[in-house]
């Protein structure tokens, strides 16, 4: 889970809502964390990722980025392979072999895998899940009295903008 109970209780207080029982809050946090995973196409846990690549001109492009740290680069026999970064931000590395390589790496900081802005967004989503949609005044006209309400979307523009920078999409070469 990407935030804790106190984060969501603080978010509910900002929304002017009473705190709820911990079991309901925990379920909302779990659902909000899953929504973040689904939106970004990645997870924010301290787990390494293992991939097998066939180098193209001794170049390998990892599936997840930016890469935090490399655990190992080995050939199919299990021997270490020398490598260097071509571009760590996009996960591009040069290996000293043309044979298939197995790369194990972290794309999240293993000591603190959830960035602060993702923690805040998860708490906001969990709070919004607890409260439910709120209608928003979208139009009002004078002459003949007319009022139009619309539901407030769960993923507001500010939430989407924060999560977009963590979004992973499949690469096509």
Per-residue pLDDT of 138-158, as tens digits, reads 555 556 665 555 555 788 889
Say if residue 134 is in the same domain as residue 93: no
Per-residue model confidence (pLDDT) at position 167 = 85
pLDDT digits (tens, 9 = 90+) for 40-58: 988 998 889 999 999 999 9
Boundary-marking domain end, from 64, 88, 106:
106
Residue 155 lies inside a defined structural domain of this protein: yes
> Model-level pTM?
0.74
22-49 burial: b if 16+ Cβ within 10 Å, else e: eeebeebbebbbebbeebbebbbeeebb
Residue 173 lies inside a defined structural domain of this protein: no
Say if residue 63 is in the same domain as residue 32: no
Q: How many domains are contained in the chain?
A: 2
Per-residue model confidence (pLDDT) at position 134 = 58
Say if residue 53 is in the same domain as residue 82: yes
Asked whether residue 133 carries a pLDDT value surpassing 90, the answer given is: no
Boundary-marking domain end, from 66, 90, 106:
106
Query: Where in the sequence is the domain holding 150, given as residue range(s)?
Result: 5-43+114-164
- With beta carbons less than 8 A apart as the criterion, state whether 8 and 28 touch: yes
Boundary-marking domain end, from 106, 131, 151:
106
Say if residue 53 is in the same domain as residue 93: yes
Say if residue 32 is in the same domain as residue 65: no
135-168 burial: b if 16+ Cβ within 10 Å, else e: eeeeeeeeeeeeeeeeeeeeeeeebeebbeebee
Asked whether residue 100 carries a pLDDT value surpassing 80, the answer given is: yes
Q: Which residues contact 65 (CB under 8 A, 6 or more apart)?
A: 89, 90, 91, 107, 168
Per-residue model confidence (pLDDT) at position 149 = 52
Q: In sequence order, which ranges of the chain are alpha helices (DSSP H)?
A: 5-14, 22-40, 116-131, 157-164
């Amino acid at each position: 889970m990407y935030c804790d109970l106190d984060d969501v209780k603080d978010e509910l207080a900002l929304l002017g809502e009473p705190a709820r029982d911990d079991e309901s809050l925990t379920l909302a946090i779990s659902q909000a964390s899953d929504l973040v995973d689904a939106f970004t196409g990645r997870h924010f846990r301290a787990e390494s990722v293992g991939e097998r690549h066939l180098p193209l001109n001794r170049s390998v492009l990892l599936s997840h980025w930016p890469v935090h740290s490399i655990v190992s680069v080995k050939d199919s026999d299990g021997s270490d392979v020398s490598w260097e970064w071509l571009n760590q931000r996009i996960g591009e590395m040069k290996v000293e072999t043309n044979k298939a390589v197995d790369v194990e790496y972290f794309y999240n900081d293993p000591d603190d895998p959830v960035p602060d802005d993702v923690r805040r967004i998860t708490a906001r989503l969990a709070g919004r899940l607890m409260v439910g949609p709120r209608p928003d005044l979208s139009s009002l006209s004078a002459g003949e009295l007319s009022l139009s309400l619309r539901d407030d979307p769960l993923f507001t523009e500010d939430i989407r903008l924060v999560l977009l920078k963590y979004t992973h999409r499949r690469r096509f070469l």
